[in-house]
Structure 1
Amino acid sequence: MYRHTKQVVSAGVPAEQADKAIIMLHGRGASANSIISLKDHLELDGYAIFAPQANEHSWYPYSFMAPVQNNQPALDSALEVIGELVEDIKQKGIAQENIYFLGFSQGACLTLEYITRNAGSYGGAIAFTGGLIGEQLVKENYKGDFNNTPILVTTGDPDPHVPVSRVNDSVEILKTLNADVTLKIYKGRQHTISHEELVLANEILKN
């Protein structure tokens, strides 16, 4: 099983000159460049933009609802890459409360898993079609206090990869850690990102 090396594509304002930073996590089979291309639809003026690239274009090999051990060591390695990137951004002078996260599909699951294991004051987080990771959710894994960090969670109903029940369970855990969650479930929506979701994301990003 594979581990990830830290390969990060960047865009936007150089971090040393930026007010805010965003970490963007691509989905399975996609790339850092593909998720960064969303910047053309997002309010990211003044942001330093970072998108790590998964080895083999996948953050972990199996479904996010497979037993966690089946997705190791890739999953822990992916979480480590994000943690190192957060530290790098802080070292460049951007405070944690000005760091934002965005992910789609597998990247949305990873976004939620990282921030919920490391709950704190962030700028905001956007999870386009995702939920917390594991066959069962182990609440002891999730700790900290979001201090009303705004978090947008969206999904289709039904979605071929992400059951609505898991999205709802994930949102409940986020709320117990004091996240300010907006949940949107779109009947019949394909496994994609809609215009309305981008509008909602921009409400978080422009604050």
Structure 2
Amino acid sequence: MSRRWCRQWLAFFLAFFLTTTMTPATTTQPPLLTDLSLSYRLVNPAQATGAKRLLLLLHGVGGNELNLLPVGEQLADAHTLVLSVRAPLVLGPMGFGFYQVDFSSGKPVFNHAQQLDGQRLLLNLMHEASAKYNIPTGQVYLLGFSQGAIMAYDVALTRPSQVRGVLAFSGRMLAESRQHHAPAADIKRVQFFLSHGRHDDKLPAFYADEAIDFLKTLGITPHYAAFEGGHEVSASSLAAAHQWLAKQP
């Protein structure tokens, strides 16, 4: 398990090495804040006053909020306050997740109770952060990688009034989210950006096709940025996300 996650996160950071402005080793990381339902780090604290929208970064299972700091640094702007969120379940010394997955049967079986609790905490965080930083109701964008993307999809499909947009990197939609979604007319307020590596061996790219097909049944055509890569956030997909986000209200 540990070797697998090491390989995953190494690939993630290598994707940024040449093109992303990384936080220098001598620079102090943003402090971990624990005043809301989930712990988080403010990526751009200078925008803590005056921002018009929130961008919450949701990491993958076994990772932590530090993994997506480079992504947040690239997407932060004067109108967007970026919070990198730590998932609630402790899975290792610096590994966290929203829910556990059991692969013993040969197929992934997720802990439904943990997933629901993670959704509850995430919704609480969205409300609390919006109130604390004076963000208009519903002006929250969720950027998720892997399990974080799964959570972003779930909240958007079941509580669309709370979400303005979703940026899903290398994720998938749970069957439960599709089965118990809100009315299509409500979900149409949400903007969707999807990105997936064609050679992803953790969550294959057909999950992106599946998500796109489902959204189209609701009358929604998402923006899709595929790339020649694996289970990662690539430089090209991040650039596409930056352009997409800049066009959103």
Residue range with higher mean Cα deviation, 87-96 or 17-26:
87-96
The residue that corresponds to 2:126 in the other structure is 86
**Contact 2:199-2:205 at 8 Å conserved across structures:** yes
SS in 2 for 1:101: strand
The residue that corresponds to 2:178 in the other structure is 139
How much has 1:199 moved relative to structure 2?
1.4
TM-score scaled to structure 1, two decimals? Answer: 0.81
Is it true that 1:10 corresponds to 2:10 in the alignment?
no
The residue that corresponds to 2:6 in the other structure is none
Q: Distance in 1 between matches of 2:102 and 2:155?
A: 17
Whose relative contact order is higher, 1 or 2, with alpha carbons under 8 Å and at least 6 apart? 1
TM-score scaled to structure 2, two decimals? Answer: 0.69
**Contact 1:121-1:147 at 8 Å conserved across structures:** no
Residues 139-178 of structure 1: CA deviation (Å, up to 9, x unaligned): 3311142335331111122311213333222222333444
Is it true that 1:201 corresponds to 2:241 in the alignment?
yes
SS in 1 for 2:43: strand
SS in 2 for 1:100: strand
**Structure 1 gap ranges (5+):** none
Identity %: 20
The 3 A distance-change label for structure 1 pair 52 and 43 is closer
How much has 1:32 moved relative to structure 2?
1.1
How large is the Cα RMSD of the aligned pairs? 2.5
Q: Distance in 2 between matches of 1:11 and 1:138?
A: 29
The residue that corresponds to 1:31 in the other structure is 64
How much has 1:79 moved relative to structure 2?
0.8
The residue that corresponds to 2:214 in the other structure is 173
The residue that corresponds to 1:164 in the other structure is 205
Amino acid at match of 2:151: L
Amino acid at match of 2:52: D
Q: Distance in 2 between matches of 1:151 and 1:32?
A: 22
Q: Distance in 2 between matches of 1:174 and 1:95?
A: 26
SS in 1 for 2:182: coil
